Amino acid sequence: MRLPTPVLVVLLGAAFVTLMGLGIWQLQRNDWKQNLVAESHARTDAPPLDVTDATGLAADDMAYRRIHLEGEWRLDDVMFLANRARYSVRGEEILLPVQPAEGPAVLVNLGWIPDGARADVMAQLAERAGEPIDGLGVDATGRNGRRIPSGSWSNIDTDTMGEALGYNLVSWFVLAGPERTSDPNPNDPLPVDGWQRFHNTTPHMEYALTWFGIAAALVAIAVFRLVIAPRREAQARPPAPGGGGDSPPTSS
């Protein structure tokens, strides 16, 4: 059963408006993401902050800021993030509290190690204890972490971790190591550290073109259904009797 033409026009129009709206929304999302990328890169390119200037800053002010950290390595309080796989190898990440000369302690993610390497890596860290640490600040607010039965943690949660340690942690943490322009190599020394700049990985432009393409196809279908098809039907329809042709002869 065919829908009445007015109903079909309304449905097609509503679908077209919806598809165009989705495409425009994706363009707006792309602009928003590009602004976020530019802002984060500007923060990263700013001079590194010394920890004495950073511990009083809010977490969102520390996001994407490079930081130079000096203080006491609290190796007895090291924590681990469980179930962190890299290179198809199961492993964990090492979290080291560092106590600056003033202010609360700062949690430092020293990097990734494979399962079974904890003892060797901890021995190496003991030899390096007290070295300055350079890295990138990360906002830790809004994360929910808990200690799992193995004693490791499911996620970084500076409030809950601070309660477990018995002293305050700042509401941000540091990704230790240098900037990486490519993914880490499995042959890198342990722990595998470093950080990468924020980049937009969501293909908003491709999504927008998809929605606009569907809208264009819908217009083409509507033109064929409402304009071309009726014309073809009218042309193919035989003429009505008496509707044309030569007049029959008449008697005098």
pLDDT tens digits for range 54-92: 988 899 999 999 999 999 999 999 999 999 998 889 999
Q: Can you give the pTM of this predicted structure?
A: 0.80
Which pLDDT belongs to residue 126?
95
Which pLDDT belongs to residue 42?
96
Which pLDDT belongs to residue 178?
94
Q: From 125, 24, 150, select the one nearest 74 (Cα to Cα).
A: 125
Average pLDDT over residues 192-206: 94
Q: Indicate if the pLDDT at residue 162 is higher than 90.
A: yes
Q: Indicate if the pLDDT at residue 165 is higher than 60.
A: yes
Q: In the chain, pLDDT over 90 holds for what percent of residues? A: 73
Q: From 110, 94, 78, select the one nearest 193 (Cα to Cα).
A: 110
Residue with tokens 């071309």: 228
Highest mean pLDDT among 3-7, 40-44, 221-225: 40-44
- Kindly indicate the confidence band of residue 7, based on its pLDDT and cuts at 50, 70 and 90: confident
DSSP structure string for 123-191: HHHHHHTT--EEEEEEE-TT----B-TTS-BSS--HHHHHHHHTS-EEEEEEEES-B-SSPPPTTSPSS
User: What's the mean per-residue pLDDT of the chain?
Assistant: 91
For 18-59, how does the pLDDT look when each residue is reduced to its tens digit (9 = 90+)? Answer: 999 999 999 999 999 999 999 999 999 999 999 989 988 899
Helix (H, G, I), strand (E, B) or coil at 106: strand
Q: How far apart are CA 185 and CA 141, in angstroms?
A: 30
Q: How many CA atoms lie within 13 A of 43 on its CB side?
A: 19
Contact 63, 43 (CB under 8 A): yes
Average pLDDT over residues 135-155: 94
Q: Indicate if the pLDDT at residue 243 is higher than 60.
A: no
Q: Indicate if the pLDDT at residue 230 is higher than 60.
A: yes
Q: Could you give phi then psi for residue 31, rounded to 5 degrees?
A: -60, -40
